[in-house]
Chains A and B, each alone.
Chain A
Amino acid sequence: EAEVAQSPRYKITEKSQAVAFWCDPISGHATLYWYRQILGQGPELLVQFQDESVVDDSQLPKDRFSAERLKGVDSTLKIQPAELGDSAMYLCASSYRGGPETQYFGPGTRLLVL
């Protein structure tokens, strides 16, 4: 069964350092999402891609966060510099073109900023 892949699974970093997360969506899925999930909360959308284009990054803190999906397949989310409040689970999801209803989530990257 096809799955969304994410790495690393866990990341510990010190504040002010740079971190990067990688996501490989299910093959053929044109839409890719990055979510942040704070402990005890539901996922909140950071950025949505359609192929290589950003369609929604209204909730992305652009002063420190960046995301790219250069070839319209895998994607990288970067935080620079990391802050204590960035500690959370970062989830990647993908869906078939035009079908955002069924989003398939990866296992997530749990980030701890010290």
Chain B
Amino acid sequence: QQQVKQSPQSLIVQKGGISIINCAYENTAFDYFPWYQQFPGKGPALLIAIRPDVSEKKEGRFTISFNKSAKQFSLHIMDSQPGDSATYFCAAKREGSTLTFGKGTMLLVSP
């Protein structure tokens, strides 16, 4: 049973556009929702994270939107740049457990 479903599997966005990646979860006990960015040949790096007591968190060009009732959260990358081309993973965890990752979204930002 996949506890965190991520879509789309891949995404192509023009430079300057908005990239949107979505995740849905099933376990209502999850209380921490991070996004990780992974470049080829590198390990994942924490990008931004949110807890369910807020509906949105913004850090620079990256924003997480969280919808608790729908059990969904999304990553928005504003003014997407070629350097943002990477694989993005959403994840979720509950108290006392470790992270459960989505399957990832390969983002390509075209120049």
Are B32 and A101 in contact, CB atoms less than 8 angstroms apart? yes
Please report the total number of A residues contacting B with Cβ < 8 Å: 21
Closest-by-CB residue of B relative to A100 is: B98
Q: Which of A42, A48, A106 is close to B101, meaning CB atoms less than 8 Å apart? A: A42
Q: Which of A40, A43, A102 is close to B46, meaning CB atoms less than 8 Å apart? A: A102
Q: How far is the CB of B110 from chain A (nearest CB, A)?
A: 22
Q: How far, in whole Å, are A48 and B32 apart by their CA atoms in the complex? A: 18
Which B71-111 residues have a C-beta within 8 angstroms of A?
Answer: 89, 91, 93, 98-99, 101-104
Are A40 and B103 in contact, CB atoms less than 8 angstroms apart? yes
Which B11-42 residues have a C-beta within 8 angstroms of A?
Answer: 32, 34, 36, 41-42
| Most chain A Cβ neighbours within 10 Å, of B6, B44, B91 | B44
Q: How far, in whole Å, are A104 and B49 apart by their CA atoms in the complex? A: 14
Q: How far, in whole Å, are A4 and B44 apart by their CA atoms in the complex? A: 12
B60 at the interface (CB under 8 A from A): no
Q: Which of A40, A100, A104, A106 is close to B93, meaning CB atoms less than 8 Å apart? A: A100
Q: Which of B34, B98, B103 is close to A48, meaning CB atoms less than 8 Å apart? A: B98
